Structure 1
Amino acid sequence: MTLLDLCAYLGLAATGAAGINLLLGLLISLRYSPVRYWPHRQINLFALHQWTAYATVVLLLSHPAVLLFLDKPHFRLFDILLPIQSPLQPWINVAGAGAMYLLLLVFITSLLRSRIGRPLWRKLHYLVFPAAILLFIHSILTDPDLKDGHPDLLDGGKVFVEILILVCFAAIVIRVRMRGKGLRPASSASAR
């Protein structure tokens, strides 16, 4: 496995972890109960959401860090932090960096939620949606071989990301349609 392969796999893993984290967050926002619904087991969705967030952040930070060790093309630290002049695909890399910065902002503010207050935290937490769009754009349009900038959209990694995009989009549409309802059990007062 080359460094370029490692970078691509870390990027795919980061995208997968971010997608799973987004889906878990949507379930939490719906008040989904894994005891009441499938799989009828006691699962702490909030803890799982936190751990996938940690995994996403580690993968997001290690993905571009691998680029620093490539000989060709040569990436500088500046090209990683602000990729407007990166050796290849600068605007696609800007989308990836934007997604990373937005997700880091959401992650850090989640750690500081009790200090900044729930209303502000909640508004900042909605930044995951534009971050997901930028992450998916970067994941789909990046040439994993760093050659000509023309990715193969039927490559296994790209198909994985495309399926993840469809699943996340469907989940977001369902969540928006269920706004205000969620999956809360009907209270005894409303049953009368």
Structure 2
Amino acid sequence: MSTDALWYLGRGSGVVALVLLTVSVTLGIGTRSGRPAPWLPRFAVAALHRNTSLLAAVFLVLHVVLLLFDPYAQLAVVDTVFPFLAGYAPFWVGLGTLTLDLLAAVVVTSLLRHRIGHRTWRAIHWSAYVSWPVALVHALGAGSDAGTVWFLVLAGVCSVVVACALSWRLSTSFTEHPIPLEMSR
């Protein structure tokens, strides 16, 4: 694979990961409301949230792995685990590493949810709320497309979608309905 192909696939997988994280956060809020979507029953919203989250994690890992092999990115394995150590743009790349670490914790604890207990899982799962804006800022700071109109529009749309979902989540009209354990598997 050519270095240009690695670079484009690395960038593209990062953009797709951001969009999928946006959808995942929004669906997660919708799942917590316990309401069905106009086109989906409750259990399907929960399943879509889970599958979108896993797909976002796959694209995030793909993004990181592709950039590890890309000579332009100059990313080292240690940079994917420990934030703010990268040789290139350590702050911006460090935010991406922090997102990867937070989402890894969410995925691992979600897989172990029935063994670690609901309270522990939920406490760690809340870090998904932190990982989304950190990922967005990473993309705006480290992304080579950050100054382009198409990316700024995409980042704006993602921001509006998450802001609307969070506003609804924090409003007095939001009623929290826990999902039965059987539906969350």
The answer to whether the superposition gives a TM-score over 0.5 is yes
**Alpha-carbon distance in structure 1 between the residues aligned to 2:114 and 2:25:** 21
Are 2:165 and 1:131 equivalent residues in the alignment? no
One-letter amino acid of the counterpart of residue 80, structure 2: I
Change (3 A) 1:3 1:27: same
1:152-171 aligned within 5 A = 152=147, 154-171=148-165
Task: Give 1:43 shift.
Answer: 6.4
1:70 is aligned to 70
Per-residue deviation, 1:180: 6.1
**Equivalence map 1:166-177=2 (5 Å):** 166-177=160-171
Alpha-carbon distance in structure 2 between the residues aligned to 1:91 and 1:114? 36
Match of 1:61 in 2: 61
Instruction: Tell me the number of residue pairs that the alignment of Structure 1 and Structure 2 aligns.
Output: 175
Q: Which amino acid aligns with 1:71?
A: P
- State TM-score, norm by structure 2: 0.84
Contact 2:31 / 2:42 at 8 angstroms: preserved in 1?
Answer: no
Structure 1 pair 7–155 and aligned structure 2 pair: CA distance change class (3 A):
farther
- Rg (Cα) greater in structure: 1
Q: Does structure 1 residue 8 correspond to structure 2 residue 2?
A: no
RMSD: 2.3
Instruction: Tell me how far apart the structure 1 counterparts of residues 136 and 122 of structure 2 sit (CA, whole Å).
Output: 23
Task: Map 1:8-157 to 2 at 5 A.
Answer: 8-34=11-37, 38-39=38-39, 44-144=44-144, 151-152=146-147, 154-157=148-151
Amino acid in the other structure paired with 1:99: T
Deviations 1:52-91 (A, max 9, x none): 1110111111101111222235322223333533232110
* Identity in percent: 23
Q: Show CA shifts across 1:97-150 (max 9, x none).
A: 1111111111111111111111121111111111112111111222316xxxxx
* Larger deviation, residues 39-48 vs 67-76: 39-48
